[in-house]
């Protein structure tokens, strides 16, 4: 695998691990990292030696989300984020679609805070397992950000519409126990046992009937994958509207100034 700034890749037997590797930035995600994850996952998807893929974070976070402060880097050529209908849905759409459609089990191993694009990445994985002291949730509404990146179509399928409204609109952050209770994560392990339990969970997947797993995964995700492109057109039109509001400008400014935003509803 080629080296990608901000990521590390390691394969041990049938287990391929992609690590978001900017611990000093809480693994804030750049465009290079998004493209890198897509490339790694696609290559693992066609490599018979890989039986399961793990995505995790270095240090004390899974990921704080897109690197709003430091910058995402150069956007992909031809991608305009405010456009509605287009043939270029952008790198985050490609990331979600790749994770949903790759015929191997993909595990999000959530070792710390998980927000923004990290949250998006985890929701597109097949399994979310979490350390008991980690926190997860979508905090973007509190900053008047609607950069949903597929969350409003994925999350209700996991936990229902009402709970999704509560988490997304109220910008709720959940601890590991509540995340398991509502159905976002499937396993919670203590810091003391996390590494051993994760290794066993992943090993069981790696030693299973990979192609049967692929059939289950693709069958479960079929309706979502069929709907995703049309949904993204609609989401991007909404994003373009929200970005032009006064509240969105205030949210971005407050974030940079590290203060609580004052919203006026316009």
What is the C-alpha to C-alpha distance for residues 123 and 154, in angstroms, rounded to an integer?
Answer: 7
Instruction: Tell whether 56 is covered by a domain.
Output: yes
Instruction: Tell whether 252 is covered by a domain.
Output: no
Instruction: Tell whether 14 is covered by a domain.
Output: yes
Instruction: Tell whether 12 is covered by a domain.
Output: yes
Instruction: Tell whether 31 is covered by a domain.
Output: yes
Residue 135 phi, psi (nearest 5): -125, 145
Instruction: Tell whether 131 is covered by a domain.
Output: yes
Instruction: Tell whether 246 is covered by a domain.
Output: no
Alpha-carbon torsion angle 213, 217, 219, 222, nearest 10: -160
Res 236: pLDDT = 87
What is the C-alpha to C-alpha distance for residues 30 and 75, in angstroms, rounded to an integer?
Answer: 9
Res 252: pLDDT = 86
The per-residue pLDDT for range 121-133, each reduced to its tens digit, is 999 999 999 999 9
Over 60: is that where the pLDDT of 78 sits?
no
H runs (alpha helix) in the chain: 31-45, 91-101, 116-124, 151-159, 161-169, 176-182, 194-206, 210-243, 246-257
Do 32 and 3 meet the contact criterion of CB atoms below 8 Å apart?
no
Do 119 and 151 meet the contact criterion of CB atoms below 8 Å apart?
yes
Instruction: Tell whether 180 is covered by a domain.
Output: yes
Indicate the number of domains in the chain: 1
What is the C-alpha to C-alpha distance for residues 79 and 77, in angstroms, rounded to an integer?
Answer: 6
Mean pLDDT in the chain?
Answer: 93
Of 28-42, 47-61, 139-153, 158-172, the least confident:
139-153
Domain containing residue 161: CATH number:
3.90.226.10
The predicted model gives 111-120 an average pLDDT of 97
Residues of the domain holding 182: 7-192
The predicted model gives 33-41 an average pLDDT of 97
pTM of the prediction?
0.93
The per-residue pLDDT for range 143-172, each reduced to its tens digit, is 999 889 999 999 999 999 999 999 999 999
């Amino acid at each position: 695998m080629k080296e990608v700034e901000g990521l590390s890749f390691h394969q041990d037997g049938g287990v391929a691990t992609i690590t978001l590797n900017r611990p000093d930035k809480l693994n804030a995600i750049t465009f290079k990292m998004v493209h890198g994850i897509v490339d790694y996952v696609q290559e693992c998807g066609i490599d018979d030696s890989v039986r399961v893929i793990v995505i995790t974070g270095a240090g004390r976070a899974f990921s704080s989300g897109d690197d709003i402060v430091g910058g995402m880097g150069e956007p992909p050529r031809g991608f305009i984020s405010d456009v509605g209908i287009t043939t270029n849905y952008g790198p985050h759409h490609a990331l979600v679609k790749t994770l949903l459609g790759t015929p191997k089990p993909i595990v999000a191993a959530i070792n710390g805070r998980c927000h923004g694009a990290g949250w998006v990445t985890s929701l597109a994985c097949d399994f979310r397992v979490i350390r008991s002291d980690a926190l997860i949730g979508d905090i973007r509404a509190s900053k008047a950000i609607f950069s949903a990146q597929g969350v409003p179509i994925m999350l209700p399928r996991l936990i229902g519409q009402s709970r999704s409204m509560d988490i997304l609109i109220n910008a709720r952050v959940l601890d590991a126990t509540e995340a398991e209770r509502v159905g976002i994560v499937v396993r919670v392990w203590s810091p003391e046992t996390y590494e051993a339990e994760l290794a066993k969970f992943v090993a069981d997947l790696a030693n299973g009937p990979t192609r049967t797993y692929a059939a289950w995964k693709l069958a479960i995700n079929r309706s979502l994958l069929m709907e995703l492109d049309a949904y993204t057109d609609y989401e991007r039109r909404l994003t373009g509207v929200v970005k032009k509001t006064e509240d969105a400008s205030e949210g971005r400014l407050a974030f940079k100034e590290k203060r609580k935003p004052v919203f006026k509803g316009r």
